[in-house]
Structure formats: C-alpha cells, structure tokens
Amino acid sequence: MEIVVQKFGGTSLSTKERRQMVVDKILDAKQRGKAVVAVVSAIGRKGEPYATDTLRGLVLSDYPSCSLRTMDFLMSCGEMISASVLAALLEEMGKKVIVMNGAQAGILTDDEFSNSEIIAIDENKILSHLQEGSIVIVCGFQGVNQKGDITTLGRGGSDTTATALGVALNAECVEIYTDVDGIMTADPNVVPSAKIIKEINYEEVFQMADKGAKVIHPRAVEIAQKENLVVKIKNTMSEHPGTAIHHFRKNGESPYSTRKKERLLTAITHKDNIAQVSVFLENDFDLESTLLTTLAKNNISIDMINFFVTKKIFTIDATQIPLLKKILAQLDLPYEIIEKCSKVTIIGSRITGIPGVMATIVTALSREGIKILQSSDSHSTISCLVREEEAKKAVNILHDAFHLDR
C-alpha cells in the first residue's frame, strides 16, 4: 500500500470553492492508487470565525489568566471543525472517509501544553482504516499526553503532524498544500522577480524557515530529514509541480537536479522586528556568565552573537526589549539598543569555502548606501543586520547581485 500524506492549510479550506479543490487533490491521489491521509489546519486566518487566533481571542480577551491546558482544549476545536466539514463534503460525494482527532490518530505527546512535542505514534490506528479503503482525515496541530489531556504542537503544528505521520506510516511522500506554487527564491511580495525553486535540501529549507520565510515549520523539516522523507510544497489552486524537499547526493546535487552549477545561493530571506544590543562589559567573566545565565532563565533568546573584550553584541526579538532592560538595570550594566532592525540572510549549501561571497554582499549593499550593522554566518548561511526600513531594498539588491532571478 502506497501512502501519501496531504496537508491542507487554513486558506485552502476557507471557502466552499477551495474545499472542492482540496477534494480534487485527494481524489486525484486516490485515482492514482494511493492511500490518502489528509491533515488539516483550522479554517481561515485571524479574524475569521474558526481560525486558531480567533478561538484564542474568545477567552484571552476577557480571561488572560486562562491555563495553557484549558487553552489547548479550546484551540484543538479549530482543526476538528475543518476536518468535519471536509469529511462531510467527501461523504456527500459518496466517498468512504473517516475523521480522527489527534488522540484517535494515535499521536502521543509530552506534557508541555501549547508547545508539545510528539513522542510516539500508534500508526495502526490509521493503517486499519486505510486498509479498508477509507480516506483518513486527521486534525493537525494536536495530540494527547499520557494522562489523556489534549495538547497542541505550537505554531506550524499541522506541518509537524503531517511529516510525523509521514514517517510513522512510511509514506511515499508528504504534500503540503498552501496558496503559493512552491518555495521561492525570496518573498514574492518583496521581490517581484522571485522564482520557484524546483528542489531544495533539508538544511536549506530549514534555514529559510528559521530565518523568517513562511514556507514550512522548522520542526517539520527536522522530522522529515531524520528519515529522508520527501516533502513537496504545492498549491491547492493550481497544478504546478511545486518544490521538492529531499536529501541531495554527497556531491551537493540531486540525481534529477536542473539547477545551474554556478549558482551558489538558493534563496534570500529576511526577518523584521529585531533589536541589536550592545552591553559594555570588560574582563569580568563572572558577571558575563551571570548575564547569560539570567537571560536564559528569563527565556530571552539571543542571536548573531559577537563577544569582544570591551563589549558583548547580540540581537533579540524586539518584544523582549522591556524585560532585557530590566535585567540589565538589575545587573547595573551599561548598554545600547538599536531598535527596528531586520536580519537579511542568504542561504545556499554550496557557499562554504567559496571566496568572494561576503565581498559581493558588502559591495552590493554599500553601493546603495545600506549599512551592515552586524553579520554572522554558518556553513550554509550569511546573515546581515540592517535597518528595518532598508530591509526590502537589501533583499532585492542581493537577489539581483546573486542572479537568483535567472
């Protein structure tokens, strides 16, 4: 039995017409002889009646001290609604279908409400229905802990559900349907000349997701990578083949790659709402250790870390500025914060050891008067911190400088 897991986001399920398109994708896979597991998100986006954020607002606007356990119980309803609506449509068409919430699908999680992790899946609960010829619709974003409490998987949780089920069921592939034709070289709303990426490796797409691109949740990528599960990003509303995510061969190329070998980069992303922090602290290792420990205890994540003898420079999410200021005041440390910054990141698994990449970045940005406030790199990324008002211009400049529009 060849199994395909298809995940449909909230926008794909938001109207009757789009739900019919979802059904067409499911039935097309069935006609090709595949057993289908459809994972669904809550219908619509914030402001629409059954969206996850709308459900949150029903309680938190009036009762902000609501427990995470109670919130998980509430938020799981969004996916149950969309799963039921989709199942009803298929039943109306005379199709054999079974709908399952996270617990019924055998998804066991840990006890961390609102951001739980999957620890085991009893795949037989779904397999028994597939073997009977049913289309199985599973509520994404949720599971159940060992006490029987409903838990949710955090932002992007339906992506995680889909790839986790793909691994558990030994699926042929996971198809994640959204409202774009695939992963692009940059945000098309920022770079009009951005192109669809036909294929990309796990590390590159993980870096894209982690650095601000809203393509697939990083946790979902990690799960797929462990078992070399092929994931395809496709458009519910078109027949475009989309983007395939998989392992490349050891020489860095896929066996069916069509990308030009001279292209170093795969994509460019950016993330806004970042603050650069400079803490002036000289030759006091105990206080330095205290600072880092205190930040960690207060769940302040730091990035783009550059430590020098006289000062420590790093970035944080701008929402954490008030708490950081309080901590620095308690430690009596002088500091400087530059707000409204953006992190622009170039991504490409082939840039390691290639001379001239940073030179191209600096030359292209400086030519247009864009100042790099800070930089960091890994074996597949180079990130530059710029002023937020210059971020979109910087992305376009670098997209053009590295010829990603070709």
Binding-site residue ranges for ATP: 7-10, 178-179, 214-215
- Residue pLDDT tens, the chain, 406 long: 999 999 999 889 989 999 999 999 999 999 999 999 999 999 977 777 878 888 888 888 888 899 999 999 999 999 999 999 999 999 999 999 999 999 999 999 999 999 999 999 999 999 999 999 999 999 999 999 999 999 999 888 999 999 999 999 999 999 999 888 999 999 998 999 999 999 999 989 988 887 877 778 889 999 999 999 999 999 999 999 999 998 754 444 554 444 444 567 899 999 999 999 999 988 788 888 999 999 999 999 999 999 998 899 999 999 999 999 999 999 999 999 999 999 999 999 878 778 899 999 999 999 999 999 999 998 889 999 999 999 999 999 999 999 998 8
Residues with Cβ within 8 Å of 238's Cβ and at least 6 positions away in sequence, in order, are: 181
Residue 254 is given by DSSP the state: -
- Answer yes or no: are the C-beta atoms of 340 and 388 closer than 8 Å: yes
Number of H helices, E strands in the chain: 11, 18
Q: For residue 128, give the 3-state DSSP assignment.
A: helix
- Answer yes or no: are the C-beta atoms of 198 and 181 closer than 8 Å: no
Between strands 267-280 and 335-347, the pairing is: antiparallel
Residue 184 is given by DSSP the state: B
Binding-site residue ranges: 7-10, 52, 79, 178-179, 214-215
Binding-site residue ranges for substrate: 52, 79
The per-residue b/e assignment along 309-323, b for 16 or more CB within 10 angstroms, e otherwise, is eebbbbbbebebeee
> Structural domains in the chain?
3-179 (3.40.1160.10)
Answer positive or negative: Cα dihedral of 271, 399, 347, 159: positive
- pTM of the entire predicted model: 0.85
- Answer yes or no: are the C-beta atoms of 337 and 373 closer than 8 Å: no
Residues with Cβ within 8 Å of 95's Cβ and at least 6 positions away in sequence, in order, are: 27, 135
Tokens of 112: 């961390």
Residues with Cβ within 8 Å of 15's Cβ and at least 6 positions away in sequence, in order, are: none
